[in-house]
Amino acid sequence: MRPPILPEGVAQNYAITARTSYLYETNGHMNIQIYNKAEQQRRDVLGQSGIQPVAIEMSYATPIQIVAKRGINPIVVNQQASGYEIVNYLFEFQNTGNGWPLPFGSDVNNQNGFMLATVELSGPGASFYDCLGARSGTELFIPGDIVQSWVKLRADRTAPFGCTIAIDRNAWVDNPMGTASLTFNLWYRYYTDAATSAKVLGVQPNY
């Protein structure tokens, strides 16, 4: 680094910051147990029923984490009725690192925040009812503008979002138990930086 030229005898401190950015991929997976109503009744009689935690298993050491804040596990599907079983979950992206997500391109036209994300849903009769704009299907691709508008990291370094799942009751007739799964994939550019200072002293010019 070439220091600035100061008048002779003047000393001035200058802040110096070094920043490094990385391309990260965060992956998360959550399993939800499903019983039909008849199986749940059998478990109640046997004393085997109970609430299970809703937890997401995350890839190791990534700065953005995905946390399940609210939801039910297991889901009990009333196979004796028609239509869909509707269940709601609340998730949260949490920035646990020391930096912040950056745009992939120039910061002239792109905001800080997430750029790309996918959510995949699997399980008998399971589909998205309302999840970040998806109202059907089992795969959700979230482009950068949608993520930055709907799931924006706040000042507290979190971004909550809801996801509603529909379970087709017809798929659970004579199907006592199974599993629904949600798989999350996030791609983003993330920075970390370090700061120091340097004192610059003006000296007599060498003519």
Total of domains in the chain:
1
The predicted model scores a pTM of 0.81
How confident is the model over 96-113, as pLDDT tens digits?
988 888 777 667 766 666
What is the DSSP track for the chain? -PPPP--TT-EEEEEEEEEEEEEEEEEEEEEEEEEEHHHHHHHHHHT---------EE-TT-SEEEEEEE--SSEEE-TTSSSEEEEEEEEEEEE-SSSEEE-SS-TTT--SS--EEEEEEESTTEEEEEETTB-SSSEEEE-HHHHHHHS---TTSEEEEEEEEEEEGGGGTT--EEEEEEEEEEEEEEEEEEEEEEEEE------
For residue 132, being part of any structural domain is answered with: yes
Structural domain includes residue 10: no
Residue at 80 is within a domain: yes
Whether residue 11 lies inside any domain: the answer is no
pLDDT (tens digit per residue) in 17-30: 998 988 888 999 99
Residues 101-152 pLDDT 10s: 877 766 776 666 666 788 999 999 999 998 877 778 888 777 666 666 666 7
Domain membership of residue 13 (yes or no) is: no
Mean pLDDT of the chain: 88
Q: What is the pLDDT of residues 143-181, one digit of tens each?
A: 666 666 666 777 788 888 899 999 999 999 999 999 999
Domain range spanning residue 146? Answer: 23-196
Please indicate, yes or no, if residue 6 is contained in any of the structural domains. Answer: no
